Amino acid sequence: MDKVILITGASSGIGRKIAGRLAQAGYRVFGTSRHPGQPTLDGFELLPLDVTSESSVRECVGEVIARAGRIDGLVNNAGIELLGALEETTVEEAKAIFETNFFGVMRMTNAVLPLLRQQRQGLIINISSLAGYMAAPFHGIYTASKHALEGYSETLWLEVEPLGIRVALIEPGFFKSEIGQRKTFPAQSIPDYAVEKATVIRAWDRFIEDGDDPAPVAETVLAVIEGRSKGLRHPVGKDTFIARLKWLAPDGLVRRRVRQTFNLKG
């Protein structure tokens, strides 16, 4: 029987690469988009889904079960970013990011868990980020949402592994995608932050535009599904290994290194 994998946010970037790779490897793959516009893409079935909506989540999971009768794996990939100083950001603007990056994951996970528990097998893979364990300036809410996702996933791992359900976090560095085209900004702009914010946004856009093709992220997901890559956390890409050693470095060194990365002085 084909294993069935559901991947949120598969219309572009990392999600599309993962969905295409898993379909090529022989899995029955359902990818999603808020505006699918076509029934299939790169060999996988495309379904409508907005992870910020309870009813959309219910309908999407119901449709996969109606078509395939089971779900073996959920890849929570859908994510968006907000670029701006924390002081410029309202609670409402921050909540909008969390609705997708954090509560979207929670909605999807809660929707598939009853089935995975019933099956006594399954896998939940959450696409976190380097920002899940390392803060970036002017990316505070995105960083907070990915840090929250890390804590959530670690707890989930502790709770559901005894029920036969595996949990994994994929932590990509910078990869080429359309995330920059979807980025949002706080409505308020405070002049004191303007110069450093513009410098960071320029650097960030370049990292994504010049980023590597996300194929290694897709290979890591495949390795996790096939049990070749074990454990909870799976960093992928340049700088992720060194960033994970930040806990061993003095705070001053970490601060200098992060500021240098984004072309900020001091």
Ligand X SMILES: NC(=O)c1ccc[n+]([C@@H]2O[C@H](COP(=O)([O-])OP(=O)(O)OC[C@H]3O[C@@H](n4cnc5c(N)ncnc54)[C@H](OP(=O)(O)O)[C@@H]3O)[C@@H](O)[C@H]2O)c1
Question: Which active-site residues does the annotation give?
Answer: 11, 128, 142, 146
Out of 7, 15, 97, 102, which residue is the one contacting ligand X (CB under 6 A)?
A: 15
Which positions ≥6 away from 247 have C-beta within 8 Å? none
Candidates 112-120, 169-177, 225-233, 254-262 — which segment interacts with ligand X by CB under 6 A?
Answer: 169-177
Pair of tokens at residue 90: 């309202």
H or E segment and range at residue 126: strand 122-127
Q: List % helix, strand, coil for the chain (3-state, nearest 5).
A: 50, 15, 30
In angstroms, the CA 25 to CA 4 distance is: 12
Question: Is residue 129 a contact point for ligand X (CB under 6 A)?
Answer: yes
Out of 1, 35, 92, 227, which residue is the one contacting ligand X (CB under 6 A)?
A: 35
State in angstroms the smallest separation of the CB of 14 from ligand X.
4
Nearer CB in complex with ligand X: 9/186: 9
In angstroms, the CA 196 to CA 203 distance is: 11
Question: Is residue 11 a contact point for ligand X (CB under 6 A)?
Answer: yes
Nearer CB in complex with ligand X: 154/205: 205
Nearer CB in complex with ligand X: 157/174: 174
Question: Is residue 79 a contact point for ligand X (CB under 6 A)?
Answer: yes
In angstroms, the CA 50 to CA 109 distance is: 14
Decide: residue 216, CB within 10 A, 0-12 exposed, 13-18 middle, 19+ buried.
middle
Which positions ≥6 away from 145 have C-beta within 8 Å? 97, 98, 101, 102
Question: Is residue 137 a contact point for ligand X (CB under 6 A)?
Answer: no
Residues touching ligand X, count (CB under 6 A) = 31
Candidates 32-40, 82-90, 115-123, 186-194 — which segment interacts with ligand X by CB under 6 A?
Answer: 32-40
Question: Is residue 12 a contact point for ligand X (CB under 6 A)?
Answer: yes
Chain positions contacting ligand X, by CB under 6 A: 8-15, 33-35, 49-52, 77-80, 100, 127, 129, 172, 174-175, 177-179, 182, 208, 211
